[in-house]
Structure 1
Amino acid sequence: MIDSPATRRLRVLSANIQAGSSTRRYSDYVTRSWSHALPAGNKRGSLDVIAQLAGEHDIVGLQEADPGSLRSGFTNQTHYLAERAGFDYWTHQPNRNVARVAGSANGLLSKLEPVEVTDHALPGRISGRGVLLARFGDGREGLTVAVAHLSLGATSRRSQLSFIAELLSDHPHAVLMGDFNCVPDTPEMEVLYRHTRLRPPQFSVPTFPSWRPQRAIDHILVSADMATADARAMPAANSDHLALAMNIDVPAIALR
C-alpha cells in the first residue's frame, strides 16, 4: 500500500551508530578501543555517510549517538546529523556520560513536526538506558514513535520492556524502534506483544555484527493495524550494527 486518502507512507530508519566509531571485526573492540574515548579516527566522515542514509527517510531513531563528549570533539551528533541530512526537527536523550569523555544518547530525527516529546529513564541493574517518545497528531489516535536501547542482560531487559509496554499500552498507533540486544521471539519480548498493539516482525532481518550479520537484535515494531513493507538492513558507515529500514503505512487520522 502506498499513500492514499486513508494512509500515509513513512520511511523509517533505526540505527545504532556507535558514536561514529569503526568496528569491522571482533578484534577491533580491543585494538580500536581508544576510539571510544578519544576524538580520533574519521568519526566526522562516518557521520556524513550516515547523514546521507538518514536523509532518505522521514523518521530516524538513533542509538549510541554521542551527545557532545570528548570522543566526538564535543559534537552533539544527533544535531549534526539533523543539519547534514536536512531534518527540521530533532531531539536527543543523553543516557550515559563517563566524566565527559564518552557520552551516549538516543536520538530522533524527523521531517514531521512532533506535538510532544518526552523521555524516560529505563529500569535496570546498571543505570544509563532510556526510551525517547515522540507523538505526532492530536488525541489518542495520534502516532507515537519510541526509540530505545535495551540492556545486554535478560533480567534487565524484562523490566525495561515491561516499563515500555506500560508507556505504550494506550497508544493504538505506535512504532518502537532501536537496539534491543535480543531477537524478537525471546521470552522477555512477550510482555510487549501481550500489553500493547505492537506485533513481532513478519520476518527477522539480521543486523549484528555488521561485517557478518547473524543476529536480528535491532527492530522496528509496529502496531497491528499499520502495514509494513521493504524491511531491509544496510550499513551505518562502519558501526558494528547494520541500520534497519522499513516503510510503514500510517492511518492519516494518526498524523492530523
Structure 2
Amino acid sequence: MTTTAFAAQRLRLLSANIQAGSSTRGYHDYVARSWSHVLPAGNKRGSLDTIAQLAGDFDIVGLNESDPGSLRSGFTNQTHYLAQRGGFDYWSHQPNRSVGGFASSANGLLSRLEPREVIDHSLPGRISGRGVLIARFGDGDDALTVAIAHLSLGAASRTSQLAFIAELLHDHPHAVLMGDFNCSVDRPEMQALFRQTRLQPPECAVPTFPSWRPQRAIDHILVGDGLRCSNARALPAAFSDHLALSLDLDVPEAALR
C-alpha cells in the first residue's frame, strides 16, 4: 500500500456470504438440511438478527446470497431487513438468480454513508445469474468506489467475470472489490485482475471457508493502491457456511466529497 501521508477517514468494512440465513454446521448439512435452501422453515429470522447485530458495528457491508424475497425467506427482502435491524440509512440489492420461484439470491449493500450512485452489472459466465453491484461515494475520478460480487465456481467463468470487473475498475486508485470469489488470490484469474487494475493482493490470506473449520481463503476485500487497510479478520456470520471478513480502511477525505 502507498505510505504517502493524507487526511483520511477510517471506515470499517464487512463482507459476508449469509447463505440466505440458512444453517450449515458441517458438510453433512448440505444434504440433511437441503430443505432449508428452498423452504421458509428453520430459524432464518434468528440468524438474520445475529447477522444484523454483527453488521451494526460496520460502516459499509457487502452481502452475498441475501434472499431478495422468495418462498425460502418467507418473502422477506433480507437486505432490507438487515438494514433496518442494523440501523443503516442506505441499502441496495441486486437480485441475480431465481430457482423456480422457491429461492432467490442477491448481492446486497448496507451503508452509513450515502452513495452518490449505485449501478448493477450482470457478469458473463457459462451459467447466467451472477452480478456485480457498484456503489460510488463522492464525485470525480478519485471517488471511493465499492464493488460487491459473487463469482462462479468454475475457473473459466471466473476468468471472464474478473476481466469484466477489471474493465470497470482498471484505473481507479480508490476502488474496493469485496465478496465471495470462490477462489484464492494465487489463482491465475486473480493474478490477471491485479495486473489489470490498481487493486492490491492482501498482505495475508484469511481463511473463511468452511465456517466450522476454515481452511480456504475465498472471501476477499481487495483495495486500490490509493487506500490503506489494516486489521483483516474473520468473524462468524450466524450459521452460514462462510465466515464474514472485516477490514479497517483509511480513505482520503477527498475521495468522499
Q: Tell me which interval the TM-score lies in, with the shorter structure as reference length.
A: over 0.9
Q: Distance in 2 between matches of 1:245 and 1:61?
A: 10
SS at match of 1:38: coil
Identity among equivalent positions (%) equals 75
Q: Distance in 2 between matches of 1:208 and 1:116?
A: 32
Superposition pairs of residues 14-163 of structure 1, within 5 angstroms: 14-163=15-164
Alignment length (residue pairs): 253
SS at match of 2:93: strand
* Alignment CA distance shift 1:5-1:153 (3 Å): closer
Q: Distance in 2 between matches of 1:182 and 1:170?
A: 23
Aligned to 2:8: 7
One-letter amino acid of the counterpart of residue 23, structure 2: S
Aligned to 1:207: 208
Q: Distance in 1 between matches of 2:166 and 2:234?
A: 26
Contact between 1:207 and 1:215, CA under 8 Å: does it hold in 2? Answer: yes
Per-residue deviation, 1:190: 1.6
- Per-residue CA shift, 1:51-80, capped at 9, x if unaligned? 000000000000000000000000000000
Per-residue deviation, 1:5: 7.1
Q: Distance in 2 between matches of 1:204 and 1:45?
A: 30
Please list every run of 5 or more consecutive structure 2 residues that lacks an aligned counterpart in the other structure.
Answer: none
One-letter amino acid of the counterpart of residue 176, structure 1: L
Per-residue deviation, 1:35: 0.1
Q: CA RMSD in A?
A: 0.9
One-letter amino acid of the counterpart of residue 71, structure 2: L
Contact between 2:173 and 2:227, CA under 8 Å: does it hold in 1? Answer: no
SS at match of 1:78: helix
Aligned to 1:246: 247
SS at match of 1:22: coil
Q: Distance in 2 between matches of 1:98 and 1:207?
A: 26
Q: Distance in 1 between matches of 2:134 and 2:54?
A: 22
Displaced runs of 4+ in structure 1, greater than 6 A?
none
Per-residue deviation, 1:151: 0.2
Q: Distance in 2 between matches of 1:80 and 1:73?
A: 12
Contact between 1:185 and 1:200, CA under 8 Å: does it hold in 2? Answer: no
Relative to structure 2, which stretch is displaced further, 185-194 or 197-206?
185-194
Q: Distance in 1 between matches of 2:237 and 2:91?
A: 19
Q: Distance in 2 between matches of 1:170 and 1:122?
A: 20
Relative to structure 2, which stretch is displaced further, 165-174 or 126-135?
165-174
One-letter amino acid of the counterpart of residue 145, structure 2: T
Q: Distance in 1 between matches of 2:135 and 2:228?
A: 20
Contact between 1:62 and 1:147, CA under 8 Å: does it hold in 2? Answer: yes
Scaled by the length of structure 1, the TM-score of the pair is: 0.98
SS at match of 1:51: helix
Q: Distance in 2 between matches of 1:234 and 1:170?
A: 31
Per-residue deviation, 1:225: 2.4
- Per-residue CA shift, 1:196-234, capped at 9, x if unaligned? 110100000000000000000000000112111110001
